[in-house]
Amino acid sequence: MSKYIELTQDTIEETVKEGVALVDFWAPWCGPCRMIAPVIEQLAEEFEGKAKICKVNTEEEQDLTVKYGIRSIPTILFFKDGEIVDQLIGATNKAALEDKLNSLL
């Protein structure tokens, strides 16, 4: 079972306000998004209790997509204590995501 957190307009601010969070903006039709989905699930297990690994379906949460200026997916935002501290656009590898998360912890 996946351990990542599905975010909505109602839950995102509360979820990312403390600690470190990775938020993956994706869509079901996006090939690169599907490519990194298993990596996101692995990170959710490996960082459980250390960082929040989250996903936002841009098809279902269009207001969030606009709010965070997402123009291309996948886009991964990194939050620390409620502030966006970095972002990656496009498919990336697990090591790059792990390094970024570890640098924020």
Q: Where residue 79 falls among pLDDT bands split at 50, 70, 90? A: very high
Q: Where residue 2 falls among pLDDT bands split at 50, 70, 90? A: low
Look-up of token digits 């690169």: 32
Strand partners, 57: 26
Catalytic residue among 16, 20, 22, 30: 30
Report pLDDT for 67. Answer: 97
Given a contact cutoff of 8 angstroms between Cβ atoms, the answer to whether 76 and 40 are in contact is: no
Is 60 exceeded by the pLDDT of residue 100?
yes
Q: For 9-46, what is each residue's pLDDT tens digit?
A: 999 999 999 999 999 999 999 999 999 999 999 999 99
pTM: 0.96
Token representation of residue 82: 């409620």
Catalytic residue among 12, 23, 33, 70: 33
Report d(CA 49, CA 51) in Å as an integer.
6
Instruction: Share the mean pLDDT of the chain.
Output: 96
Percent of the chain with pLDDT over 90: 97
Report d(CA 48, CA 46) in Å as an integer.
6
Is 60 exceeded by the pLDDT of residue 1?
no
Report pLDDT for 103. Answer: 97
Q: Is 54 a catalytic residue?
A: no
